[in-house]
Structure formats: C-alpha cells, structure tokens
Amino acid sequence: MPLLSKEEKRNSIALPKINQIDSVTQRYGETAIIRGKGRSISGACLKCKNPRCMRFPEAYISCPEFEDFSYERNNNVCPVDAISWDYSKDIPRIDHEKCINCGICALMCPIGAIYSDGNKVYVSEPRNDYSILPVTASNIRLQEELFTRLMTLNWQHRFLHESQSIMSNIYKKVSKFDGRSMSANLLIRNLMIAVGHHCSISRTGDVYTRIDAVYSDGDIYDACYGAMEIEFGRDTLDASRGILDDIAVLHSRNGIDKEKNTALVACLSFPNKRQGYFQVIKDVNKVLNLKIQTVSLGALLILAWNGIEVDFSQKDFYADFDNLSIRSALNNNIKRRVELPEGFLGILEPEK
Amino acid sequence: MIRFRNPGTQYTTQIQVFRELYNEYKDAPSFSLDDMAETIARTKLMTAYGYAGDAALALSNTDNDSLNSTKMNAKMYAEVFRLLGWITSAGSGSYPLVFTYIGEHAACTDEVLPLYEQCVLGINNPQRIMDVKYDEKVRFFKAALFSLEDLGGIMYKHELCLGPMSIDDLDRSQYARMITYLQKLRGSYKRYEEAYKGLCEDLDVKPTLPDNSTRLPIAFMKTCNWIDSKRTKDLYPPKSLECICLTDHGREVAKSLHNVKDLRLDEYVTYSEAKQRALIRLGVYSMLFRAGYNTDPVKETIQNDTNECKDILAGKPLLFSPYQTLHHDEVDDALNLKRNHGSYHRNRTILPNVSRPDLVINDLNLSVTVETVSRNEDAEVERFTSYVNKLKLAGKKKREIIDRVFEECITDTQTRFYPFVATLFRVMGLDCTASRPGDNGARWDAIIVDDEESIPIEIKSPTEEQHLSLKAIRQALENKVILLSRETHPTKPETTSLAVGYYLPNDRAEVTNLMIDFKNTYGYSIGVIDLKTLLTIAITILLDGKTIDIQKLNRLEGFANATFK
C-alpha cells in the first residue's frame, strides 16, 4: 500500500522581475538592493522550495576532515527554533518571543530578504516587483538558476551595525539559555557556518565524545580546520584543558596532526585576566608551540553581520596574557573599527 | 507503576537513527539488533570508548551482550521506536524487527514532529506488542496532560510516578482520588519524601528506578512542546525543585483530548471482527490525518469505516494507535498491506583489529629497595609516624594499618587531604609541599621539589571525587605545561606529572587512552597513584625501613602499583 503524503501546502515560489541581476548590496538593518538593467528592487522572500533560512544543507554541518566525529544532525539554521514556515503567507515566520536577533537566518537568505530593526527580525514579503509562480519543476529550475547567479555575484551580507544596546539584549537572552540545552553549541556552530565554515557539534548525551565541535573551511587545498571547545559558563580553564585533550585525541586516534589543528575556544565572554585562562594559553604556546585562538559570541556575531568569511589559519584571533584583545583582528576583518568600548561584555577583550 | 526504560532521549538523534535504519533495512524481510548496532555505529550516530564507526563496533564486540555498548545502544533505540510504534516484532519473539506502516511514514518525511506527537499519545497499556506487562490500564501521556491541567499546570517529576504512572486512567474515581492525593501531598517536602519512599517500598525498588522512569516521558513531552521546566519552591517548600509546566501547546493538546473516543485493548476485543478491522483503519488514518497527511486517497474507506463504527465513535475523533496496541499482522491485514520485499543483500563487515588499551598496557610498578630513607622530619611526618607506630604497638598488622588510615580519609576535604598526600610523599623522603587552598598562582595542588626533576601533583580529595577522572589527567597535563613554561621549579620534559586520588579511575581504559594520547601528542608522561598505593609505600617505608626508587617515580607512566622486593 502506498504511503500517504503530507498535504501539499506550499503553493508558490517567487522570482524578481529583473532579467539580469548585475549586483546586490545590503546595508545594516535593511533588505538587500538588487540591481539589473537600470532598475533596482528590494530583496524579498523567494519562497524557496528548500528554505535556506531554515535548514542548512547536510554538508554544512559535517566536516570531511573529521570523518570519525559523531555529530549532531539537527540542521536548523535558527539555534532557538524561532523560524518556521507560515503556510498562510507561504513565507518564513519569525517568533519574536524566541528570536535572539542573531541574524543567522538573514545571512543564509540568498537574496537578503530578512532584516532587523535592531530589536526584531522581519521577513520581507514579495510585492509587485516579484512574480509569484506556481511550484513546478520548471519554475524551481528558474529559481535554482537565480541562486547560482546570486552566488556568483559574491555579494556581502550586512545585518546589523553592532551597538552596546543590541549586544546587551542578545547577551541577556543568551544568558537565559538552559545550561543543559544545546542552544549555545548550536548558536556557535551556526555562526561558524555563517562566517564561511563547515562546523559539527557533538551529540547531546554522547558521553564518549568530549570534543564540543570541529570546524573546517571546506577548502580542498590548504584547508584550515580544527577542534573547538564551547564555553558559555565561567569555567574557562576547563576549555583550555579541554582543547588540549581534543588536540591529543584527534592527533593520536584520528590522524589529525596537531600542527594542522587550528584549535579554537568559543566563549560567551573573554575570561577575566585573574582566572588564569590567558596565562595558560600563553604557556601552551610557549611549551607546546600551539596557538589556541579565542573568539567570543559577540565577535562571531560582528563578523557574521558583516558578511565576513573568516580565515582562522592566520591565527589572528590568538590572544594571551601578553595581548588580551582580538579587537585588531576584528577591525582588520570588517575593515573598520568595531564600535564597542574596551572590555564591553568581554566581547573583544576581558571586561574591566 | 508502569515503567519507562532509560533510553536515548535526544529527538534529533532518534530521528536520524531511525532514518538510517530505514534506508538500510527497508527492503530487508526483517532486521536484528546486530543489524541495528552495525548501522548506528557505521553512520557515526554512536561512539564507543571515544571511537566511532567500525572501530566502535570492534571495541564493543564481546560475547557478553550486556557489556556490548553498541548493541545496548541499539537496544535502547529499538525500545524507543517500538514504544512509538515505528518498528515492531516480526514474529512472536522480541526480535527480529520490521517497520510498521506508521514507521514508514515517519522515516519518509521532513517534518516528523506532528506524527511523533501522535505516536507519543498512542502509547498505552495494556497492549500486545511489548514483553513487559503492567497492571495499570493507562494511556500515560493523556493522563499526564490531564493531571498537569488539574494540578495547576505544574508538577514535580516524581508526581508522575505517584500519579498517572500508577493508575487506571479510565476509572474516573481512581483518577480523581489520585489528583486529590497529589493536591494533599503538596505544601510539605517531608510529606512528598514519605510518599515517594512509600512508593519505592511498595514496589520494592531503589529510589532511582521511578526517578529514571521519568526521563523518557519528560523528554517526549518536551520534544512535543507540551511542557517546559521551571524551578520553584511553591510545590514542596522549603525545597526548590525543578518542575514541569504545561505550555500553551500542551494545554491545547490536553483540551483536544477531552473530546475524543479513546479506544483501548480491553474495549477493542469486545467488538466484532468487522468492527475491529474498521477501527484499525480509522486509528491509523486518523493519526496520519492529525499529523498533516493527506488522507484523500483513502477517503472512501474512512467514510465506510466511520459508518461501521458510528455507535462506538459517537461523532468523536478516534484516539487509537493500532501498531502500539496490536500485533502488526493484525494491523497489516486490516490495512490490506502486503509486504513486498525487494532484493536485499546483507554485507557483513570485517571489523578492524582494534582493542582497548587496558588489555595491552600493564600497570607500572614502584619497587622499594632496602636502603634506609633519609628525610627531613617535620611535624606532620612525625605525627603520622607516631600514629602508625601506635597502631603497630596495638598489635595491628601492616595491611590493617593501611586499611584503617585509608578508611579514615574517606571524608577528607581538600584542606585535609592535599597536605596529607604531601606528608606521605615526605615520608618517602621527598621534598613535597601542598599549595595553599585558593592560591591561583600555583595551579598544581602539591609539588615534589627537586634540584632537577620537580613533579607537579594534581590531587582529588575523596569528597571532590572518590574515583579519579579524566579531569584530573587533563589537569596533570596542564600542570606539566605550566611548570615547563613558568620555570618556577627545575624539571625536565621527561619527568612525570602526577595525579593522586582516593581510588583509581572507574574507566581505567579511557584514562589510559588519554594518557597515551598525551604521550603520543605532547610527549609528556602522566602517572596516576591511588591513596592505597601511596599509603602502602609510605607505611612500608616506615615499618620496614625501606626506601623508594625515586627514578621509577620520576618516570612513572600510567597507574602505579607498589611491589616490595
């Protein structure tokens, strides 16, 4: 007996009424502007058949360099499940109660249709500038061709300009994460994907895997990859010990050479100088010749919000007791000064 | 009390495991636990001893099934999927297994959650599909939602055991008595404790068993977004307890369940065969319909069956999950399902030759020579020496003295234990000092100071952890790195870094693995000594006038074992 199918609720897809797209630009807090043949329109939801703002392709959440890593298969783009499909409008819907304003969904949107006013995230609906078409194989093919075109334009997403109030609000929401939930690890994984990497996190309840996450830039040649420890609590020393454990396990058991393991610690905020974390990181560099880089949630958000594909192979995000800041690395990446005061929320350096 | 075993509660992993199993065995006539274990391991959805894939399979491969972690993992998922009615016994025994029609739908959709929710509601007792039988006649999750509704939208997890897990929910007076009982229990933590203790005594089980039985139900309800957690003192003051609270969606689901025809096995068997077959079809199709499936292709069947059962249904939607209640042959037959198995060829894997390191690594020995120890006496060493001598004079043998001191230390906190460990090393003639508690500058807990080979010591007191863990090994590595970097005391890269604890680690194989990993990767040796070994060495030195071979200690790698020549 044949299986029953889900009701066909998806009725339409959208395509912009521009024959040849020449460029896409996006400013903070706005939808993208699509230009072509002398006219321009605002980015609006294309009602993608497989919405990129909701689910990552499987390849993004797995890292070929770490084929023995047992990873979490949840491929939701939103780390807090705030985005779902609104069948009545045939576009994604944002649950503002759940949404933490991280912008990852917006950064995944191929046409820049999702934006934030600083407090809430919105999905722009297609209006007269878009053709609403039935879901047919030929229309889906047209949409796929559009995605390819948009990809080749290599345009840079912009989501939000960092500010103290925006960051404070996000940190306030994140600090309410249930310590046992996966949200923190999902958030970091998804941000790593947003800044141009493949990233896998370990499965909840897998007591045998101590490595929190692994990442890879996906390049075939001269790939940059490494282990990650994710620490949103106060015990950052556990992260420095954990990363040495990760590097050793991967080196000894999985053939990932320690010299090639560009390991990262992702934390909510930079640890206080007195906690000893940065001193240990310095010791590790001096004795083991391993530069463990440290990134905060806020730093990853800023990089993602500016559409940056981060290259960790240069070890620009290395901070230790002698240089406690990653501010210059951020400034270099986004090609302007980060507008957050020194020590603010421990995003770029320890809090004062 | 009905029991829920303690299987994998992570929804995303459950779904992924199920999809992989379906992809692998959808064309097979049936599949076994071994098949499941192989697929789960190969798709890296489980690990064993830090390994995934074939290595995990090989490492967990043992004749004793209960020690085969991969197989136990597979069994855990088999129980979840059987409970959800996605797989079921192919024949009369528990294994092998087949996919059900509902299971096939679950495997083939992107949005599993609505069907998952229906299947969670479908769990009921009694049924004909599971080996284990319980006395209670209950659709547990419906009863739990109703209980939450009637208890102000909030419950403590053990109230699930005292309440909906222990009643016949269709017996209205029994249900009402249960609610009143729980309401009266509230307000006093002591009252709750006595009630829970009474439940465990009645069932003749340890308190952990009912508690473990709440894990899967809570995970199911959280996954379905029926409940979330909240810590409060309100229910059982003065204790602050993490409680489960009904969400808006949970409230909606509970509300909808008040107006359904809840059909159970006891009632089902009273109907004619024609009605039973119609109820099976209606049960399956209504679950799929509520989960968002298009039932138009079977509209006519539904219409006919609804007419056939109109007296039973009385205009209400049917809540009946045939695959979670009846043997699949009966359900398949009513649905007119013919299982056509495609060609399926099973490839058995040749497992790689890997073994756990505890099988090949021998414990290291500390030998004791017959020379006289020279040490700088200090107050602690003198105190310990006189205590040991006092016990000897009282007629105690060496082994008894060691055991006595060992037992006396079991309640030691860091402030007592760390200096005591340092004292024992000083008894051996080593210059060992414990760090001051809270001294963040000295990261190690004690250090053996030497002109050439100082040894940092990571100590875990029995009140921190009785068995040394991986954490101590990690910290021992960090101590080594710090000592080499900061050069506060002279040492050499090849000198060991010690971890000392009350007992050796429970999982010695994984600790050994990590020590090997550290050695392979960074070139540093970690030595592990438990208190009994340390006491044996120290007391032997005191009573027999022997000394320790310091070089052996300096190069200690792995677990220390005291031997005497």
pLDDT score, position B359: 37
pLDDT higher than threshold 90 for residue B355: no
Please, what is the average pLDDT of chain A? 92
Token pair of B213 as six digits? 């039985």
> Is there a single domain that holds both residue B445 and residue B466?
yes
Residues of B whose CB is below 8 A from A210 = 50, 470
pLDDT score, position B6: 66
Write phi, then psi, for A201 (nearest 5 degrees). Answer: -115, 155
Predicted ipTM > 0.90: yes
**What is the sign of the dihedral through the CA atoms of B323, B329, B333 and B337?**
positive
Q: What is the DSSP-derived secondary structure letter of residue B390?
A: H
Question: How confident is the model over B444-465, as pLDDT tens digits?
Answer: 999 999 999 999 999 999 999 9
pLDDT score, position B167: 93
B128 domain-assigned: no
pLDDT score, position B160: 96
Is residue B266 very low, low, confident or very high in pLDDT (cuts 50, 70, 90)? very high
pLDDT (mean) for B306-317: 96
Residues of B whose CB is below 8 A from A274 = 440
pLDDT higher than threshold 50 for residue B361: no
Question: How confident is the model over A204-255, as pLDDT tens digits?
Answer: 777 778 999 999 997 766 789 999 999 998 778 899 999 999 999 999 988 9
B54 touches chain A (CB under 8 A): no
Residues of A whose CB is below 8 A from B520 = 248, 251-252
Residue that is last in its domain, among B220, B236, B259 = B259
Question: How confident is the model over B396-405, as pLDDT tens digits?
Answer: 999 999 999 9
pLDDT score, position A8: 56
B45–A252: do the CB atoms touch at under 8 Å?
no
pLDDT (mean) for A155-167: 96
B478–A244: do the CB atoms touch at under 8 Å?
yes
pLDDT score, position B496: 96
> Is there a single domain that holds both residue B307 and residue B400?
no
> How far is the C-alpha of B84 from the C-alpha of B112, rounded, in Å?
12
B118 domain-assigned: no
pLDDT higher than threshold 60 for residue B550: yes
Please, what is the average pLDDT of chain B? 89
Residues of A whose CB is below 8 A from B337 = 1
CATH 3.40.91 residue ranges for chain A: 164-346
Lowest-pLDDT choice from B164-168, B536-540, B544-548: B544-548
B212 domain-assigned: yes
% of chain B surpassing 90 pLDDT: 71
A249–B514: do the CB atoms touch at under 8 Å?
yes
What is the three-state SS of B206-226?
CCHHHHHCCHHHHHHHHHCCC
> Is there a single domain that holds both residue B145 and residue B44?
no
- Which residue shows structure tokens 């695959």? B323
- Window 77-136 of B: residues touching A by CB (8 A cutoff) are 101, 104-105, 108-109, 111
- Nearest Cα residue to A265 out of A287, A244, A288, A289: A244
Highest averaged pLDDT of the listed ranges B38-42, B43-47, B467-471:
B467-471
% of chain A surpassing 90 pLDDT: 77
pLDDT (mean) for A158-179: 93
Residue that is last in its domain, among B259, B280, B295 = B259
CA angle B540, B541, B542 (to 5 degrees): 90
| Nearest CB partner across the interface for B481, out of A4, A203, A287 | A287
> How far is the C-alpha of B232 from the C-alpha of B422, rounded, in Å?
44
The amino acid at residue B88 is T
> Is there a single domain that holds both residue B446 and residue B555?
yes
B111–A6: do the CB atoms touch at under 8 Å?
yes
With beta carbons less than 8 A apart as the criterion, state whether A85 and A52 touch.
Answer: no
pLDDT (mean) for B259-277: 96
B46 touches chain A (CB under 8 A): yes
Q: Provide the number of CB pairs (under 8 Å) joining chain A to chain B.
A: 132
> Is there a single domain that holds both residue B228 and residue B270?
no
With beta carbons less than 8 A apart as the criterion, state whether A112 and A157 touch.
Answer: yes
Strands (E), A37-77: 39-42
B104–A3: do the CB atoms touch at under 8 Å?
yes
Question: In the beta sheet, which residues pair with residue B243?
Answer: B156, B230
> Is there a single domain that holds both residue B327 and residue B214?
no
Is residue B565 very low, low, confident or very high in pLDDT (cuts 50, 70, 90)? low
pLDDT higher than threshold 60 for residue A273: yes
Helix (H, G, I), strand (E, B) or coil at B48: strand
B44–A274: do the CB atoms touch at under 8 Å?
no
> Is there a single domain that holds both residue B530 and residue B469?
yes
Higher pLDDT pick, B562 / B180: B180
Domain A164-346 has CATH 1.10.3470: no
pLDDT score, position B344: 60
> Is there a single domain that holds both residue B12 and residue B42?
yes
Residue that is last in its domain, among B52, B83, B114 = B83
pLDDT higher than threshold 90 for residue B377: no
> How far is the C-alpha of A143 from the C-alpha of A49, rounded, in Å?
9
A208–B48: do the CB atoms touch at under 8 Å?
yes
B116 domain-assigned: no
B376 touches chain A (CB under 8 A): no
Strand-pair category, B497-501 with B526-530? parallel
- Nearest Cα residue to B542 out of B372, B399, B408, B417: B372
Is residue B366 very low, low, confident or very high in pLDDT (cuts 50, 70, 90)? low
pLDDT higher than threshold 60 for residue B342: no
b/e map B156-189, b = 16+ CB within 10 Å: bbbbbbbbbbbbbbbeeeebeebbeebeebbeeb
| For residue B126, cis peptide bond before it (omega within 30 degrees of 0) | yes
| Nearest CB partner across the interface for B52, out of A7, A68, A73 | A68
> Is there a single domain that holds both residue B433 and residue B417?
yes
With beta carbons less than 8 A apart as the criterion, state whether A188 and A297 touch.
Answer: yes
pLDDT score, position B58: 72
Is residue B103 very low, low, confident or very high in pLDDT (cuts 50, 70, 90)? very high
pLDDT (mean) for A151-161: 92
Q: What is the DSSP-derived secondary structure letter of residue A219?
A: -
| Nearest CB partner across the interface for A247, out of B292, B298, B521 | B521
Question: How confident is the model over A27-70, as pLDDT tens digits?
Answer: 999 999 999 988 999 999 999 988 999 999 999 999 989 988 98
CA angle B530, B531, B532 (to 5 degrees): 95
Residues of A whose CB is below 8 A from B495 = none
pLDDT higher than threshold 80 for residue A180: no
B458 domain-assigned: yes
Q: Which residue of A has its CA nearest to B222?
A: A181
B336–A1: do the CB atoms touch at under 8 Å?
yes
B98 domain-assigned: no
CA distance A54 to chain B (A): 12
pLDDT higher than threshold 60 for residue B53: yes
Is residue B362 very low, low, confident or very high in pLDDT (cuts 50, 70, 90)? very low
> How far is the C-alpha of B124 from the C-alpha of B133, rounded, in Å?
11
Q: How many domains, in total, are found in chain B?
A: 4
pLDDT (mean) for B540-559: 87
pLDDT score, position B49: 66
pLDDT score, position A9: 67
Highest averaged pLDDT of the listed ranges A87-96, A145-154, A276-285, B369-378:
A276-285
> Is there a single domain that holds both residue B437 and residue B475?
yes
Token pair of A212 as six digits? 């929190």
Range of the domain at B363: 358-564
> Is there a single domain that holds both residue B300 and residue B245?
no
Which of the residues B517, B525, B526 would you substitute to probe the A interface, choosing the one with the greatest number of A C-beta atoms within 10 Å?
A: B517
Is residue B375 very low, low, confident or very high in pLDDT (cuts 50, 70, 90)? low
> Is there a single domain that holds both residue B175 and residue B51?
no
pLDDT (mean) for B167-185: 95
pLDDT (mean) for B96-118: 93
